[in-house]
């Protein structure tokens, strides 16, 4: 009789161990999948501050942007799936915008100049960051 109890006990023990091992494997696989997901989630995506930093490194004349000196200098950005549009803008007091230089920085940090905005008259205050032209 003890032999039969031992076999039942061993069977229960074996089933319990397989169940525990299965849970352990499932937890490890889940952790690995989550790790891979988070590793690839931000891969290749450029942040706004990184896009501005790439441009400031390539164009030292923009190092002091943004600032409140006269004329005030601001930075405008617009996110796209493949990167950022960035405009370095000189604001005016009598004239809303004195001028702007516009760029696109791709997620792989390639820079493309998209244009220069120079308003033709005092009434032009809005421009597209993407095309650097009047709205």
**Burial environment of residue 132 by CB neighbours within 10 A (0 to 12, 13 to 18, 19 or more):** buried
**What is the tens place of the pLDDT at every residue in 19-38?**
676 676 666 766 666 655 55
Residue the block writes with tokens 């023990």: 13
Residue 16 has a pLDDT of 62
Residue 37 DSSP SS3: helix
pLDDT confidence tier of residue 92, bands split at 50, 70 and 90: confident
Q: Which of 50, 68, 67, 47 lies closest to 58 in space, CA to CA?
A: 50
Cα 113 from Cα 105, distance rounded (Å): 9
Query: Across the strands, what pairs with 105?
Result: 84, 111
**Burial environment of residue 8 by CB neighbours within 10 A (0 to 12, 13 to 18, 19 or more):** exposed
Residue the block writes with tokens 């421009």: 127
The domain locations on the chain are: 1-43, 48-117
Look at residue 55 and tell me whether its pLDDT is greater than 70.
yes
Cα 53 from Cα 64, distance rounded (Å): 12
pTM: 0.68
Residue 85 has a pLDDT of 98
Cα 47 from Cα 77, distance rounded (Å): 11
């Amino acid at each position: 009789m003890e032999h039969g109890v031992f076999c039942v006990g061993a069977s229960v023990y074996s089933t319990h161990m397989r169940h525990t091992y299965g849970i352990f494997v499932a937890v490890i696989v889940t952790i690995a999948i989550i790790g891979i997901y988070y590793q690839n989630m931000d891969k290749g995506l450029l942040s706004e501050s990184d896009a501005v930093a790439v441009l400031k490194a390539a164009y030292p004349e923009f190092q002091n942007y943004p600032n409140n000196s006269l004329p005030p200098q601001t930075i405008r950005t617009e996110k796209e799936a493949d990167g950022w549009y960035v405009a370095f803008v000189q604001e005016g007091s009598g004239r809303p915008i004195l001028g702007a230089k516009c760029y696109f920085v791709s997620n792989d940090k390639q820079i493309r100049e998209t244009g220069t905005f120079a308003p033709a008259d005092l009434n032009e205050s809005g421009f597209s960051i993407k095309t650097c032209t009047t709205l």
